[in-house]
Amino acid sequence: MQSIRAFCLAGFIASTPAVALEQGEYQLNGFGTAGLTHLGGEDQGRSFGVSGQTTDSWRGDQLSRLGGQLQYGLTDTLGLTVQATLKPEQDTWKGNLEWAYLSWGAAEGLTLRAGRLRTPIYMYSENLDVGFTHPWLRLPDEVYSQVQLSSYEGGDVLYTLPVGIGNFAFQVAGGQAVNRNVFALDELYDIDYKKIFAANASLETNDFGTLRVGYAEADIDTDLTASVISPGVGTTSIDFLNLHRQKGRFTSVGYQYDNGTWITSNEWTRNNTEGDQQGNIDAFYLMGGRRFGEVLVHITYAQLDEDGGRQNSWTYGVNYNLAPNIVLKSEYKRVDTRGNGYRGTFVETAQETFDHAVFAASNGAAGAPSRNYDGDILSVGVDFVF
């Protein structure tokens, strides 16, 4: 079983709020993942995932990353936190400033933060890149592929209150995230999130696990325009999606439990953006596992539902603790989609998407028919903290 020190170290990296340091004290930690993943199945050349990096070649840029975090006590109540990562964005490795904020312990249990912060969207948002704190090597794609924004500029208020059965925590946040990238149609596009508002509450019990409920919204600006070849016209520019100050809303409910032997992690989300003509996007995963000494065996069912169809998957994983701060992980994931040509989180290019639309509009006289995809994803790697 992982040592208490390793758990505390991982929690310190990802904590909200971080453990307070006295004036002049500092804490420097690192974390990372080195992993490989491969997509098998009948669709050679197809890609999968939030940035299209899972393909029919063994690749490390879907899973691998390296990060560091520095915390420094400016005074006994005022602290500085900086977290940076090196990880791929589509096919290019990129340095990222994930956190850079000041935190003020205003009162017992009350902390105010300002600067660049993690967007509190998901249950694992605060430790999104710290794979050591996740039971999986890759977070469930059906849920974690939906909102690609991981940080914003603004502030938040954190309040923690001890209660009879554990601790109650509440967070409210606001700000913006402009000049970000979003992966769509097998390309990167510009996207802005204005007037971000988020709030979540969690109850961490002593014996029954942790329950978290969250809500977030933002005004979204983006323009997904691409050049395609149109029958009888030639190369032309198509506006696939244009959002201007359209409200996006995201709701989530999560539950975690880990008593050292049995473990479960579960999350349900609903995503709705005005003007994208997709209605509500519902997704969830249910995960259960058991430890046998240094080995964790786990299984996850995940599902993504949109108006166009459904994607579901089963993930089977085995983790082995090589050291108190290093975990070897292996996973097999089977993904299926169904619906009228629904692709789920498989990636299609702008030309493919256009061809499918032309086929439907012409009653099959032109273009290409849409179809469903499926695949087998193998992943292996190590997560570590130091």
What pLDDT, on a 0 to 100 scale, did the predictor assign at position 352? 94
Q: Which residues pair with 126 in a beta bridge?
A: none
* C-alpha to C-alpha distance for 321 and 117, rounded to whole angstroms: 31
59 in Cβ contact with 75 (< 8 Å): no
- What value does the mean pLDDT of the chain take? 93
100 in Cβ contact with 50 (< 8 Å): no
Would you give the DSSP letter of residue 354?
H
CA atoms within 13 A on the CB side of 51: 19
Identity of the amino acid at 257: Y
Residue-wise pLDDT tens for the chain (386 aa)? 444 445 555 666 666 555 678 899 999 999 999 999 999 987 778 999 988 899 999 999 889 999 999 999 999 999 999 999 999 887 789 999 999 999 999 999 999 999 999 999 999 999 999 999 999 999 999 999 999 999 999 999 999 999 999 999 999 999 999 999 999 999 999 999 999 999 999 999 999 999 999 999 999 999 999 999 998 889 999 999 999 999 999 999 999 999 999 999 999 999 999 988 788 999 999 999 999 999 999 999 999 999 999 999 999 999 999 999 999 999 999 999 999 889 999 999 999 999 999 998 999 999 999 999 999 999 999 999 99
What pLDDT, on a 0 to 100 scale, did the predictor assign at position 18? 52
What pLDDT, on a 0 to 100 scale, did the predictor assign at position 90? 78
155 in Cβ contact with 171 (< 8 Å): no
Burial bucket for residue 206 (CB in 10 Å: 0-12, 13-18, 19+)? exposed
DSSP 342-386: --TTEE--HHHHHHHHHHHHTTTSSS------EEEEEEEEEEEE-
Q: Which residues pair with 277 in a beta bridge?
A: none
For 68, residues 6+ apart whose C-beta sits below 8 A from its C-beta are 28, 29, 30, 31, 83, 84
340 in Cβ contact with 370 (< 8 Å): yes
Query: For the segment 25-50, what is each residue's pLDDT rounded down to a tens digit?
Result: 999 999 999 999 999 987 778 999 98
Q: What is the CATH number of domain 4-385?
A: 2.40.160.10
271 in Cβ contact with 281 (< 8 Å): yes
* C-alpha to C-alpha distance for 8 and 262, rounded to whole angstroms: 19
Identity of the amino acid at 186: D
73 in Cβ contact with 26 (< 8 Å): yes
Q: 64 — phi, psi (to 5°)? A: -80, 145
Residue ranges per structural domain of the chain: 4-385
Predicted model pTM = 0.94
